[in-house]
Amino acid sequence: MKARQFCVFGNPIKQSRSPWIHQQFANQLGINLEYQASLAPINGFEQTLKTFIANGGAGANVTAPFKEEAWRLSDHLSDIARDSGAVNTLSVNGDRLLGDNTDGYGLITDLYRHGATLKNANVLLLGAGGAARGVIPALIKEQLASLTIANRTASKAHDLKQHFSDFSIQSCGFDELTDTGYDLIINATSAGLAAQKPDVPATIINPNTFCYDMVYQAMPTGFMQWCQACGALQCTDGLGMLVGQAAKSFSIWFGQMPEIEPVIQQLRELLQTGK
Ligand code: NDP
C-alpha cells in the first residue's frame, strides 16, 4: 500500500527533527508513512500547502512563522486550537482542513514528566509569539494560581492577554517584572540558543523556581545556564515537549499514541553526538 504523505512546513525548516521523530513513531507501530520537511516561502505558505494537498498530502505539522496562518486556513478547529489562535497540526479530511494544536499537550506532559507542579503554581510565561499563544489554553486548564505573560515587546503580551480575556492573566514587558514568587518560568522566546537569554531580571528566580526552556540543543541552553546560576530549583529544555507534541499529532492522524520516552532518549543521544 502506498505510504500516506505528511510534511512539516516552516521557514526556516532545515533544523527540523520532525521527519526523524515521526519515522521513529511509524517504525514503533508498523505504520507506512512518508514525512518530509518543506521550506514554505514567507508569503507563500497557503499556496505551498494547497499544492501539497493537491498532490495527496494527508496531514501536516506547521511551525514558525505559519501557525497563525494555518489557524486562519483551517475549516474546522479543535477547541484548544480555536482558543489559542494557532495551529501546529493539520489533517486533510476530504475537502476540509482540520486544525489542531498539540504544543500545549507536549509542554504539559513534559512538565509533569520532569516532576513540576502546576496546580496552584504562580507561572511566568516569557514570550508572546506562536509558541506562547499555543500553550496558554493548556496551561489555563491546570488550575494555576496565576499566569503572567511577559514579552520584550510589551504590547504583544498585552494583545495576548486580550485574546484570552475570559481568563485572569497578567501581562507586562520584561522591565516591569518585579515579582519574586514564581514557581514555574517557561521560556517561549526564541532567545535561548547559544549564550543568549531573554533580558529579564534575576530577581524572578528563587530557590523553588522550576525553569523550562522550549528551546533545546545538545548542551544546556543559555537560558537554562542563567537560571541555574541564579539558583533555580531545576532547569530543563524543550526536547521532551518537541517529542510530546509530535506524538499527539501522530495520534490525531493514525489513532494510535506512540511511546515518547525511547524517542526522547534516542534524540538526546543524536544531539549529543552532533548528528
Ligand atoms: P515567534 O517568532 O512566533 O516568537 C518569538 C518570540 O521570541 C517573541 O515573543 C519575541 O519577542 C521573542 N524574542 C525573539 N528574540 C528575542 C530576544 N533576543 N530577546 C527576547 N525575546 C526575544 O516564535 P515561536 O513563538 O513560534 O517560537 C519561540 C521558540 O519556541 C522558538 O525557539 C521555537 O523553536 C520554540 N518552540 C519549541 C517547541 C518545542 O516543542 N520544544 C514548540 C514550539 C516552539 P518580540 O515580540 O519582542 O519580538
Average pLDDT across each block of 10 residues of the chain; the chain has 275 residues. List them in order.
Answer: 91 95 98 97 98 97 95 97 95 97 98 97 95 94 96 97 88 93 95 78 96 93 95 97 98 98 97 86
- Residue nearest to ligand 1 atom 40, measured at CA: 242
pTM, full prediction: 0.96
Q: Which of 2, 14, 50, 67 is an active site residue?
A: 67
* CA nearest ligand 1 atom 6, residue: 189
Q: Using the mean position of ligand 1's atoms as its centre, give its distance from the Cα of residue 28 in Å.
A: 31
What pLDDT does residue 274 have? Answer: 82
Tens digits of residue pLDDT in 120-170: 999 999 999 989 999 999 999 999 999 999 999 999 999 999 998 877 899
Q: How far is the CA of 93 from the centre of ligand 1 (A)?
A: 31
pLDDT at 195: 64
**H and E: helices and strands count for the chain:** 10, 12
Residues within a 6 A CB radius of ligand 1: 64-65, 103, 106, 127-132, 151-153, 156, 188-192, 198, 214-216, 238, 241-242, 245
- Does domain 104-239 match CATH 3.40.50.970? no
- Which residues have a Cβ under 8 Å from the Cβ of 217 and sit 6 or more positions away? 193, 237, 271
Q: What is the position in ligand 1's atom list of the atom closest to the CA of 156?
A: 46
Residue 167 has what pLDDT? 79
Residues 6+ apart with CB under 8 A from 107: 135, 138, 139, 186, 212, 214, 238, 241, 244, 245
Would you say the C-alpha torsion 254, 260, 262, 263 has a positive or negative sign?
A: positive
CA of 190 to the centre of ligand 1 (A): 3
Q: Is 67 a catalytic residue?
A: yes
In the block, residue with C-alpha cell 514579552 = 151
Residue ranges of the domains in the chain?
Answer: 4-101, 104-239
CATH number of 4-101: 3.40.50.10860
The secondary structure element, H or E, covering residue 171 is: strand 169-173
Nearest alpha carbon, ligand 1 atom 12: 189
Nearest-atom number in ligand 1 for the CA of 153 is 47
Q: Is there a contact between 234 and 260 (Cβ–Cβ < 8 Å)?
A: no
Q: How much distance in Å is there from the Cα of 135 to the middle of ligand 1?
A: 13
Alpha carbon distance, N-terminus to C-terminus of the chain: 32
What pLDDT, on a 0 to 100 scale, did the predictor assign at position 194? 58
Return d(Cα 176, Cα 22) in angstroms, integer: 41
191 CA to middle of ligand 1, Å?
7
> Tens digit of pLDDT for each residue in 189-216?
988 655 678 999 999 999 999 999 999 9
**Which of 88, 190, 199, 213 to mutate for ligand 1's pocket (most ligand atoms within 8 Å of CB)?**
190
On the question of a common fold for 4-101 and 104-239, the answer reads yes
Ligand 1 centroid to residue 187 C-alpha, Å = 8
CA dihedral 139, 141, 143, 149 (to 10 degrees): 30
Residue of 163, 189, 226, 245 to test ligand 1 pocket, by largest number of atoms within 8 Å of CB: 189
| Contact between residue 189 and residue 126 where contact means Cβ atoms under 8 Å apart | yes
Strands ordered across the beta sheet of 57-62: 33-39, 4-10, 57-62, 89-93, 96-100, 76-77
Q: ω before 19 within 30° of 0 (cis)? A: no
Comparing CA positions, the residue from 258, 230, 254, 260 lying closest to residue 242 is 260
